[in-house]
Chains A and B, each alone.
Chain A
Protein backbone atom coordinates (compact mmCIF):
# COMPACT_ATOMS: atom_id res chain seq x y z
CA UNK A 1 0.00 0.00 0.00
CA UNK A 2 1.11 3.53 -0.68
CA UNK A 3 0.51 6.61 1.41
CA UNK A 4 1.07 10.23 0.46
CA UNK A 5 1.25 13.06 2.97
CA UNK A 6 1.00 16.77 2.33
CA UNK A 7 1.52 18.69 5.55
CA UNK A 8 0.73 22.16 4.21
CA UNK A 9 -3.03 22.65 3.82
CA UNK A 10 -2.53 26.18 2.53
CA UNK A 11 0.33 28.21 1.09
CA UNK A 12 0.54 31.69 -0.36
CA UNK A 13 3.15 33.45 -2.47
CA UNK A 14 3.61 36.84 -4.03
CA UNK A 15 3.25 36.99 -7.76
CA UNK A 16 6.60 36.44 -9.54
CA UNK A 17 8.12 34.83 -6.43
CA UNK A 18 9.07 31.19 -5.89
CA UNK A 19 7.18 28.75 -3.70
CA UNK A 20 7.84 25.15 -2.66
CA UNK A 21 5.10 22.66 -1.83
CA UNK A 22 6.05 19.67 0.30
CA UNK A 23 5.11 16.03 -0.06
CA UNK A 24 6.28 12.85 1.61
CA UNK A 25 5.29 9.35 0.69
CA UNK A 26 5.65 5.77 1.78
CA UNK A 27 5.73 2.71 -0.39
CA UNK A 28 7.06 -0.83 -0.30
CA UNK A 29 7.46 -0.88 -4.07
CA UNK A 30 10.85 -0.65 -5.70
CA UNK A 31 9.51 0.86 -8.92
CA UNK A 32 7.04 3.66 -8.67
CA UNK A 33 6.04 7.04 -10.01
CA UNK A 34 5.35 10.34 -8.33
CA UNK A 35 3.16 13.12 -9.65
CA UNK A 36 1.93 16.59 -8.95
CA UNK A 37 -1.57 17.41 -10.14
CA UNK A 38 -3.14 20.85 -10.18
CA UNK A 39 -6.85 21.37 -9.58
CA UNK A 40 -7.98 24.94 -10.32
CA UNK A 41 -11.43 26.24 -9.38
CA UNK A 42 -12.82 24.56 -12.50
CA UNK A 43 -12.05 21.26 -10.66
CA UNK A 44 -10.24 19.87 -13.71
CA UNK A 45 -7.30 17.63 -12.71
CA UNK A 46 -4.22 18.73 -14.63
CA UNK A 47 -0.94 16.82 -14.61
CA UNK A 48 1.86 19.22 -13.73
CA UNK A 49 4.88 16.95 -13.54
CA UNK A 50 5.88 13.30 -13.23
CA UNK A 51 8.95 11.68 -11.70
CA UNK A 52 10.06 8.11 -12.27
CA UNK A 53 11.59 6.80 -9.05
CA UNK A 54 14.46 5.01 -10.79
CA UNK A 55 15.64 8.28 -12.31
CA UNK A 56 17.91 10.32 -10.09
CA UNK A 57 17.55 13.45 -12.16
CA UNK A 58 14.80 15.75 -10.94
CA UNK A 59 11.96 16.33 -13.41
CA UNK A 60 11.40 19.82 -14.78
CA UNK A 61 8.55 21.31 -16.78
CA UNK A 62 9.07 24.98 -17.59
CA UNK A 63 8.53 26.90 -14.31
CA UNK A 64 7.81 23.72 -12.37
CA UNK A 65 10.51 21.49 -10.94
CA UNK A 66 10.72 18.84 -8.27
CA UNK A 67 13.20 17.97 -5.57
CA UNK A 68 13.08 14.17 -5.35
CA UNK A 69 14.87 12.73 -2.32
CA UNK A 70 14.38 8.98 -2.61
CA UNK A 71 16.03 7.97 0.65
CA UNK A 72 13.97 10.52 2.58
CA UNK A 73 10.84 9.66 0.56
CA UNK A 74 10.33 13.32 -0.14
CA UNK A 75 8.96 14.87 -3.33
CA UNK A 76 8.56 18.65 -3.26
CA UNK A 77 7.32 20.90 -6.05
CA UNK A 78 8.96 24.24 -6.76
CA UNK A 79 7.05 26.83 -8.73
CA UNK A 80 9.20 29.67 -10.03
CA UNK A 81 7.96 33.08 -11.19
CA UNK A 82 4.51 32.40 -9.74
CA UNK A 83 1.62 33.60 -11.85
CA UNK A 84 -2.01 34.31 -10.97
CA UNK A 85 -3.03 31.28 -13.03
CA UNK A 86 -1.04 29.04 -10.70
CA UNK A 87 -3.66 29.52 -7.98
CA UNK A 88 -5.15 26.10 -7.38
CA UNK A 89 -5.23 23.04 -5.17
CA UNK A 90 -2.10 20.97 -5.72
CA UNK A 91 -2.19 17.23 -5.11
CA UNK A 92 0.85 15.04 -4.74
CA UNK A 93 0.23 11.46 -5.90
CA UNK A 94 2.00 8.15 -6.34
CA UNK A 95 1.50 4.95 -8.30
CA UNK A 96 3.31 1.66 -8.67
CA UNK A 97 4.95 0.32 -11.77
CA UNK A 98 2.49 -2.16 -13.29
CA UNK A 99 -0.44 -0.91 -11.21
CA UNK A 100 -0.93 2.71 -12.04
CA UNK A 101 -3.87 3.60 -9.83
CA UNK A 102 -3.12 6.90 -8.16
CA UNK A 103 -2.93 7.46 -4.42
CA UNK A 104 -3.32 11.14 -3.60
CA UNK A 105 -2.32 13.33 -0.71
CA UNK A 106 -4.82 15.67 0.90
CA UNK A 107 -3.73 18.64 -1.17
CA UNK A 108 -2.22 22.09 -0.67
CA UNK A 109 -4.24 25.14 -1.60
CA UNK A 110 -1.96 27.71 -3.22
CA UNK A 111 -2.94 31.37 -3.26
CA UNK A 112 -1.11 33.88 -5.43
CA UNK A 113 -0.95 37.40 -4.03
CA UNK A 114 -0.91 40.10 -6.73
Chain B
Protein backbone atom coordinates (compact mmCIF):
# COMPACT_ATOMS: atom_id res chain seq x y z
CA UNK B 1 0.00 0.00 0.00
CA UNK B 2 1.13 3.54 -0.74
CA UNK B 3 2.47 5.51 2.18
CA UNK B 4 3.19 9.15 2.91
CA UNK B 5 6.38 10.28 1.20
CA UNK B 6 8.63 12.94 2.60
CA UNK B 7 11.67 14.47 1.01
CA UNK B 8 14.41 14.95 1.71
CA UNK B 9 14.91 12.42 4.48
CA UNK B 10 17.90 14.28 5.87
CA UNK B 11 18.83 17.92 5.54
CA UNK B 12 21.75 19.88 6.94
CA UNK B 13 21.64 23.66 6.90
CA UNK B 14 23.57 26.54 8.38
CA UNK B 15 22.04 29.12 10.68
CA UNK B 16 20.05 31.79 8.87
CA UNK B 17 19.62 29.60 5.79
CA UNK B 18 16.30 28.49 4.28
CA UNK B 19 14.91 24.97 4.04
CA UNK B 20 11.98 23.47 2.14
CA UNK B 21 10.45 20.17 3.23
CA UNK B 22 8.09 18.30 0.94
CA UNK B 23 5.26 15.91 1.70
CA UNK B 24 3.29 13.69 -0.66
CA UNK B 25 0.17 12.31 1.07
CA UNK B 26 -1.37 8.94 0.45
CA UNK B 27 -3.51 9.09 -2.73
CA UNK B 28 -7.07 10.30 -2.11
CA UNK B 29 -6.19 11.66 1.32
CA UNK B 30 -7.44 15.24 1.57
CA UNK B 31 -5.86 16.45 4.80
CA UNK B 32 -2.18 17.00 5.56
CA UNK B 33 -0.62 17.70 8.95
CA UNK B 34 2.87 18.84 9.89
CA UNK B 35 4.49 18.02 13.23
CA UNK B 36 7.85 18.89 14.75
CA UNK B 37 9.59 16.47 17.11
CA UNK B 38 12.60 17.86 18.96
CA UNK B 39 15.21 15.56 20.52
CA UNK B 40 13.67 13.52 23.31
CA UNK B 41 10.31 15.23 22.92
CA UNK B 42 6.85 14.32 21.72
CA UNK B 43 5.64 15.57 18.33
CA UNK B 44 4.14 19.04 18.33
CA UNK B 45 1.49 20.08 15.84
CA UNK B 46 2.53 22.88 13.49
CA UNK B 47 -0.11 23.32 10.80
CA UNK B 48 -2.71 21.45 8.77
CA UNK B 49 -4.40 21.74 5.40
CA UNK B 50 -7.74 20.45 4.21
CA UNK B 51 -8.51 20.53 0.52
CA UNK B 52 -5.61 22.93 -0.08
CA UNK B 53 -6.79 25.42 2.53
CA UNK B 54 -5.13 25.95 5.89
CA UNK B 55 -7.40 24.34 8.44
CA UNK B 56 -5.54 24.80 11.72
CA UNK B 57 -2.38 26.32 13.07
CA UNK B 58 -0.36 25.34 16.09
CA UNK B 59 2.87 26.62 17.56
CA UNK B 60 4.44 27.39 14.22
CA UNK B 61 7.01 30.21 14.18
CA UNK B 62 6.38 33.17 11.89
CA UNK B 63 9.59 32.19 10.08
CA UNK B 64 7.80 29.07 8.86
CA UNK B 65 5.15 28.93 6.17
CA UNK B 66 3.40 26.10 4.45
CA UNK B 67 0.99 25.40 1.66
CA UNK B 68 -0.81 22.57 -0.04
CA UNK B 69 -0.81 22.42 -3.81
CA UNK B 70 -3.42 21.36 -6.37
CA UNK B 71 -2.00 17.82 -6.43
CA UNK B 72 -2.36 17.73 -2.59
CA UNK B 73 1.34 17.65 -1.89
CA UNK B 74 2.47 20.08 0.76
CA UNK B 75 5.62 22.05 1.42
CA UNK B 76 6.92 23.49 4.67
CA UNK B 77 9.19 26.46 4.13
CA UNK B 78 11.52 27.47 6.92
CA UNK B 79 13.55 30.66 6.80
CA UNK B 80 16.21 32.24 9.02
CA UNK B 81 16.94 28.84 10.49
CA UNK B 82 18.01 28.66 14.12
CA UNK B 83 19.84 25.95 16.02
CA UNK B 84 16.61 25.19 17.86
CA UNK B 85 14.91 24.26 14.60
CA UNK B 86 16.95 21.05 14.52
CA UNK B 87 14.31 18.34 14.78
CA UNK B 88 12.44 15.57 13.04
CA UNK B 89 9.63 16.97 10.93
CA UNK B 90 6.72 14.66 10.24
CA UNK B 91 4.02 14.96 7.68
CA UNK B 92 0.85 12.95 8.14
CA UNK B 93 -2.24 12.54 5.99
CA UNK B 94 -5.78 11.38 6.60
CA UNK B 95 -8.58 10.30 4.27
CA UNK B 96 -11.91 12.13 3.82
CA UNK B 97 -13.93 11.88 7.01
CA UNK B 98 -11.20 9.88 8.70
CA UNK B 99 -9.62 10.44 12.07
CA UNK B 100 -6.63 8.17 11.54
CA UNK B 101 -3.45 9.93 10.57
CA UNK B 102 -0.76 8.08 8.68
CA UNK B 103 2.70 9.41 9.19
CA UNK B 104 5.56 9.72 6.75
CA UNK B 105 9.09 8.66 7.71
CA UNK B 106 10.02 12.22 8.66
CA UNK B 107 12.69 14.67 7.56
CA UNK B 108 15.59 15.06 9.96
CA UNK B 109 16.73 18.68 9.86
CA UNK B 110 20.06 19.60 11.39
CA UNK B 111 20.97 23.25 11.71
CA UNK B 112 24.65 23.97 12.29
Supposing A43-B88, A106-B42, A107-B42 touch, asked if A100 and B94 sit within 8 A by C-beta, the answer is yes
B42–A104 CB distance below 8 A: yes
The residues of B that contact A43 with a CB separation of less than 8 Å are 37, 88, 105-106, 108
Q: Which of A91, A97, A102 contacts B101 (CB 8 A)?
A: A102
The residues of B that contact A50 with a CB separation of less than 8 Å are 99-100
A110 to chain B, nearest CB (A): 15
A102–B43 CB distance below 8 A: yes
A91–B56 CB distance below 8 A: no
- Contact residues of A: prevailing secondary structure: strand
Cβ of B102 within 8 Å of any chain A Cβ, yes or no, is yes
Which range contains the number of A residues in contact with the other chain? 20 to 34
Cβ of B48 within 8 Å of any chain A Cβ, yes or no, is yes
A37 to B92, CA, bound (A): 13
Cβ of B24 within 8 Å of any chain A Cβ, yes or no, is no
A97 to B99, CA, bound (A): 8
B45–A102 CB distance below 8 A: yes
B58 to chain A, nearest CB (A): 7
Q: Which of B43, B48, B92, B100 contacts A91 (CB 8 A)?
A: B43
A101–B103 CB distance below 8 A: no
B33–A45 CB distance below 8 A: no
- Name B's A-contacting residues (CB within 8 A): 31, 33, 35, 37, 41-45, 48, 55-56, 58, 88, 90, 92, 94, 99-103, 105-106, 108
A-B CB contact pairs (8 Å), 19 listed: A43-B37, A43-B105, A44-B105, A44-B106, A45-B43, A45-B106, A46-B103, A47-B100, A50-B100, A95-B99, A99-B55, A99-B56, A100-B31, A100-B33, A101-B45, A102-B35, A102-B43, A102-B45, A103-B45
Closest 5 CB pairs of A and B: A45-B103, A104-B42, A101-B45, A33-B99, A100-B99
